[in-house]
A and B are shown apart, each in its own frame.
Chain A
Amino acid sequence: MTRISVTVDGVDYSDEVEPRTLLVHYLREQLGKTGTVVGCDTSNCGACTVHLDGRSVKSCNVLAVQADGHDVTTIEGLATNGELHPMQQAFHECHALQCGYCTPGMIMQAIDVLNDNPNPSEQEIRVGLEGNLCRCTGYHNIVKAVQQAAGAGAATGSSAGTTSGSTLGGEPV
Chain B
Amino acid sequence: MTVTEERTGTPEIGNRRLRKEDQRLITGRTRWTDNIILPGMLHAAMVRSPHAHAMVTGIDTEAARKAPGVVAVVTGADVKDGQGAVANAWPITADQKAPAHLPIVLDHVACAGEIVAVVVARTAAQARDAAELVDVDYDELPAVLDAKEAVDDAVLAHPDLGTNKSALWRLDSADQGSGGDVDEEIDKARAEGIVIEREIRQQRLIPSFMEPRSTVVDPTGEQITVWTSTQVPHILRFLIAATTGIPESKVRVIAPDVGGGFGGKLQTTAEEFATLAVARLVGKPVKYTETRSESLVSGHHGRDQYQKLTLAATKDGTVTALKVDLIANLGAYVGLVGGGVPVLGAWMYNAIYKFRAYRFTVQTVLTNTTWVDAYRGAGRPEATFAIERLMDDLAAEVGVDPLQIREQNWIRNDEFPFTSVAGMTYDSGNYEVATARAVELFDYEGLRREQSERRERKDPVQLGIGVSTFTEMCGLAPSRVLGALNYGAGGWEHASVRMLATGKVEVITGTSPHGQGHETAWSQIAADRLGVPFEDIEVLHGDTQIAPRGLDTYGSRSLVVGGEAVVRAADKVVEKAKVVAAHLLEASADDLEFSNGRFTVRGTDNGIGITEIATAQFTSHNLPAGFEPGIDADATFDPDDFSFPHGTHLCAVEVDTETGQTTMRKYVCVDDVGQIINPLIVEGQVHGGLLQGIAQALWEEAVFDDQGTLVTGSFVDYTLPTAADTISFVTENTTSPSTTNTLGTKGVGEAGSIASTPAVVNAVVDALRPLGVTDVQMPCTPKRVWKAIQSAGSVSDAATIDSAQPHFDPGAPNQDAPDTGTSTNGAGQ
Contact = CB atoms under 8 A, between A and B. Distances in A.
B723 A130 contact: yes
A25 B34 CA distance: 12
A45 B210 contact: yes
Given A35-B30, A76-B28, A92-B22, A99 B723 contact: no
A34 B32 contact: yes
Interface in A33-48: 33-42, 44-45, 47
A42 B26 contact: no
Contacts of A103: 25-26
A140 B728 CA distance: 5
Interface string A49-74: 00000000000000000000000001
Contact of B210 (A74, A95, A131, A135): A135
A136 B688 CA distance: 5
B715 A44 contact: yes
A1 interface: no
B776 to A, nearest CB: 23
A94 to B, nearest CB: 9
A134 B724 CA distance: 12
Given A34-B35, A42-B715, A98 B688 contact: yes
A129 B27 contact: no
Nearest to B210: A101
Given A126-B723, A129-B722, A130-B722, A39 B292 contact: yes
Given A44-B714, A99-B209, A138-B687, A36 B262 contact: no
B116 to A, nearest CB: 20
B209 A135 contact: yes
Contacts of B728: 122, 140, 143-144, 171, 173
A39 B259 CA distance: 10
B729 interface: yes
Interface string A91-117: 111010111111110010000000000
Interface in B1-40: 18-19, 21-30, 32, 34-35
Contact of A137 (B23, B25, B291, B684): B684
A45 B210 CA distance: 8
B714 A41 contact: yes
A88 B514 CA distance: 20
B683 interface: yes
B519 to A, nearest CB: 12
B558 interface: no
Interface string A132-167: 111111111111100000000000000000000000
A91 B681 contact: no
A23 interface: no
Contacts of B25: 97, 100, 103
B716 A99 contact: no
A123 B688 CA distance: 19
A38 B212 contact: yes
Contacts of A33: 28
Contact of B723 (A34, A37, A104, A143): A143
A4 interface: no
A44 B713 CA distance: 13
B208 interface: yes
Contacts of A88: 26-27
Nearest to A44: B715
A100 B687 contact: no
A92 B723 contact: no
A62 to B, nearest CB: 17
A142 B723 contact: yes
A16 to B, nearest CB: 14
A84 B26 contact: yes
B26 A98 contact: no
B260 A136 contact: yes
Contacts of A95: 18-19, 680-681, 683-684
**Residue of A100, A132, A133 with highest tally of chain B CB at under 10 A:** A100
Contacts of A45: 210, 292, 715
Nearest to B17: A95
B690 interface: yes
Contacts of B514: 99
B32 A37 contact: yes
B754 interface: no
B258 interface: yes
A98 B27 contact: no
A88 B752 CA distance: 27
A127 interface: yes
Contacts of B27: 35, 75-76, 78-79, 84, 88
A37 B680 CA distance: 26
B427 to A, nearest CB: 28
Nearest to B26: A88
B257 interface: yes
B714 A134 contact: no
A73 to B, nearest CB: 11
A130 B25 CA distance: 21
**Residue of A33, A122, A133 with highest tally of chain B CB at under 10 A:** A133
B106 interface: no
B173 interface: no
A125 interface: yes
B254 interface: no
Nearest to A33: B28
Given A41-B291, A88-B26, A102 B729 contact: no
A99 B18 CA distance: 14
Interface string A15-36: 0001000000100100001111
Contacts of A100: 21-22, 24-26, 30, 257, 259, 515
B691 interface: yes
Given A45-B292, A135-B688, A136-B260, A35 B28 contact: yes
Contacts of B257: 100
Contacts of B21: 100
Interface in B643-700: 680-681, 683-685, 687-692
Interface in B697-740: 714-716, 720-724, 726, 728-729
A141 B293 CA distance: 28
B566 to A, nearest CB: 21
A42 B680 CA distance: 33
Nearest to B515: A99
B762 to A, nearest CB: 19
Contacts of B723: 125-127, 129-130, 132, 134, 139, 142-143
**Residue of A76, A88, A91, A144 with highest tally of chain B CB at under 10 A:** A88
A107 B30 CA distance: 15
Contacts of A84: 26-27
B114 interface: no
Nearest to A105: B210
A39 B28 contact: no
A92 B262 contact: no
Interface of B: 18-19, 21-30, 32, 34-35, 125, 208-212, 257-260, 262, 291-293, 514-517, 680-681, 683-685, 687-692, 714-716, 720-724, 726, 728-729, 752
26 contacts: A18-B125, A34-B30, A34-B34, A38-B34, A38-B212, A41-B292, A75-B26, A92-B19, A98-B685, A99-B259, A99-B260, A100-B26, A101-B259, A107-B26, A123-B724, A126-B722, A126-B724, A129-B722, A135-B208, A135-B260, A135-B720, A138-B690, A138-B726, A138-B752, A141-B687, A173-B728
* Shortest 6 CB-CB contacts between residues of A and residues of B: A35-B28, A99-B515, A100-B25, A101-B259, A138-B691, A44-B715
Interface of A: 18, 25, 28, 33-42, 44-45, 47, 74-76, 78-79, 84, 88, 91-93, 95, 97-104, 107, 122-123, 125-127, 129-144, 171, 173
